[in-house]
Amino acid sequence: MSILVVGSVAFDNIATPSGRVENVLGGAATHFALAASFFTKVRVVAVVGDDFGAEYEDVLKKRGIDTLGIERAPGKTFRWGGHYTDNLNEAKTDFTALNVFEKFQPKIPKEYADTDFLFLANIHPSLQTAVRREMKGVRLTGGDTMNFWINGTPRELAEMLSLVDVLLINDTEAKMIANETNLPRAAQKVLSMGPRALVIKHGEYGATIFFREGAFGIGRHPFRAPALPIEQVQDPTGAGDSFAGGFMGYIASQGEVNREVLKRALFYGGVMGSFTVERFGTERLQSLTRDEIDARFQVFRELTHLE
């Protein structure tokens, strides 16, 4: 089945202890789309500038991604520069040039009206809400957000939360939304704001999915997937978006959405994130094969499963 991602496409400058790259393809929608493309048919709604050459679009097309929804606007593509020191969990932003992304108004091509699944990457919550309302027929909507919107536009965020089925955020964001330092209590509070399931990403410690009572089947407890301890992390940029792409892409590839599917999706999310960090930018996702994904899924299983 098909999935539509709405979000940023960007050029990144990234420096980490392993090296530095400039003007590499980045952005949340890019990482999400590439990761999801190993599981299902992916469509993208985003905006780029006139500096976005065919060679960049080809990276997506080579993975079979439908780029009809990538709008070309006069001006430059969104640019982000950041660096990481020894703590690879935390990016320090060097510069942000929104460029054409500043006035982004998502336009959904009529060809995308029959899309089955939707992912609202991290953009202004009012835009997320507008897209969600327009895509009435989707079976399940996932969403992301960040501290900037949590602090700056809480009312708009609350409306968005009331419209998504699964929210994917990190520990700090969950505690910030709920104004609560205990993680499971924060999770319950976020779930009471709308989502039927909440995925909290713990970086190198994996991720936990919390369910609203009775949502997606029966069960009292949350579920945890590990992250693989990785010796060579070259660049963490895009790990969270790749996680979301693996998670949502796997869900979209299944006939039914139930707890078992969501649990396996959590493992696939971790798998895709673990590949992304092995190389700079989208490099690893570009060279990846489905066989490598399935092999690592088995490694993740063995990492936590008792005989």
> Which residue from 226, 224, 213, 220 is spatially nearest to 302, judged by alpha carbons?
226
Q: Which of residues 185-214 bind a second copy (CB under 8 A)?
A: 185, 187-188, 202, 204-206, 208, 210
Binding mask 94-123 for a second copy (x = CB under 8 A): ------------------------------
Residue type, 82: G
Q: Using the rule CB under 8 A, which residue among 176, 212, 264, 278 binds a second copy? A: 264
Minimum distance, C-beta of residue 307 to a second copy, in the bound complex (Å): 6
Neighbours of 68 (CB within 10 A): 11
DSSP secondary structure, 225-246, as one string = E-----S-----TTHHHHHHHH
Among 55, 256, 291, 302, binds a second copy (CB under 8 A): 302
Question: Rounded distance, CA 296 to CA 302, Å?
Answer: 10
Q: Which is nearer to a second copy, 287 or 304 (CB)?
A: 304
Among 162, 192, 287, 304, which residue sits at the site for a second copy (rule: CB under 8 A)? 304
Question: 85 vs 151, which CB is nearer to a second copy?
Answer: 85
Closest CB to a second copy among 146 and 183? 183
Least distance from C-beta 172 to a second copy, angstroms? Answer: 12
Q: Pick from 201, 180, 202: which is nearest to 192 by CA?
A: 180
Q: How many CB atoms lie within 10 A of CB 7?
A: 28
Contacts with a second copy by CB under 8 A: the residue count is: 37
| Contact region with a second copy (CB under 8 A), list: 105-113, 125-133, 155-163, 218-226 | 218-226
Task: Classify 36 as helix, strand or coil.
Answer: helix
> What amino acid is encoded at 265 in this protein?
A
- Least CB distance to a second copy at residue 288 (A): 20
User: Considering only CA atoms, which of 165, 187, 159 is closest in space to residue 247?
Assistant: 165
Segment contacting a second copy by CB under 8 A, of 120-128, 139-147, 162-170, 228-236: 228-236
Long-range contacts of 103-107 (CB under 8 A, 24+ apart): 103/73, 104/8, 104/46, 104/47, 106/6, 106/45, 106/130, 106/131, 107/45, 107/69, 107/71
Cβ proximity of 270 and 293 under 8 Å = no
- x/- map, 11-50, a second copy, by CB under 8 A: ----------------------------------------
Nearer to a second copy, 5 or 88 (CB): 88
For residue 307, what are its two tokens?
A: 């005989």
Near a second copy by CB under 8 A: residue from 98, 127, 230, 286: 230
86 binds a second copy (CB under 8 A): yes
**Contacts to a second copy from residues 125-184, by CB under 8 A:** 181-184
In whole angstroms, what is the distance from residue 57 CA to residue 60 CA? 5
Residue 289 and residue 117: Cα distance in Å, rounded? Answer: 23
Which residue, 143 or 206, is less far from a second copy as judged by CB? 206
Q: Would you say the C-alpha torsion 55, 56, 59, 61 has a positive or negative sign?
A: negative
Interface residues with a second copy (CB under 8 A) are 86-87, 181-185, 187-188, 202, 204-206, 208, 210, 221-226, 229-231, 233, 260, 263-264, 267, 299, 301-307
